[in-house]
Amino acid sequence: MTRLLFSLMAGALLENASVPSTPDLGTAEGRCRSNEFGPSFLVDVDGLKDRRGKLKLEVYPANDADFLEDDNILISAGKTFRRVEQPVPATGPVQLCVRVPSAGRYAVSLLHDRDGNRKFGWRVDGIGFAGNPRLGWGKPRASDASAAARTGPTRLEIVMNYHRGLGMRPLRRRENTHENR
């Protein structure tokens, strides 16, 4: 009974994270230039479980209705959606850069797609958000997972969360500080 209840609640958390998308939408707009000088997020990734798979950084409007909405729907409605995808580097610090249309507030999510299947699997993959909200049984509110972009690059740190025990949470600091870098 507990396992069934847990599965149902975990499914509610990740319901919107597994909506089918078009992989290339938002990538041209999100790709930073060398030495980016315009409005963008420069994201430092902390707490990776391992160096497998890809990282997918996505930017959404900072409201609950549009946060984690299907990219096809957002783009066809003329709303902000940006995506950057890259393989997890084998060593060293991990940093991603994503351009945004202008200075302002945006919701930001980061997926560690460890198995490379382009979908979020809560038992395998990791997820993190701007603001590093504590994850419950549903997606975080857009206001808790958002950040304000300035007119130039804006640094963010996103701490990854993985399936642990009865939920999604960061790895303990001593497990993820240096040995996985």
**Residues 6-51: pLDDT tens digits?**
444 455 555 544 445 566 666 777 889 888 899 999 999 999 999 9
Q: How confident is the model at residue 179, as a pLDDT?
A: 38
pLDDT digits (tens, 9 = 90+) for 52-64: 999 999 999 999 9
Q: Which residues have CB under 8 Å from 142's CB, separation 6+?
A: 60, 61, 62, 63, 64, 66, 67, 107
Instruction: Name the helix (H) or strand (E) containing 9.
Output: helix 2-14
Mean pLDDT of 105-126: 93
> What is the rounded CA–CA span in Å between residue 104 and residue 96?
19
User: H or E segment at 111?
Assistant: strand 104-113
Q: What's the confidence (pLDDT) of residue 141?
A: 97
Q: Where are the chain's structural domains?
A: 2-176
pLDDT band of residue 157 (cuts 50, 70, 90) is: very high
CA distance 134 to 126: 14
Who wins on pLDDT, 175 or 82? 82
What dihedral angle (degrees, nearest 10) is formed by the CA atoms of 161, 163, 166, 171? -50
- Residue 99 pLDDT greater than 70, yes or no: yes
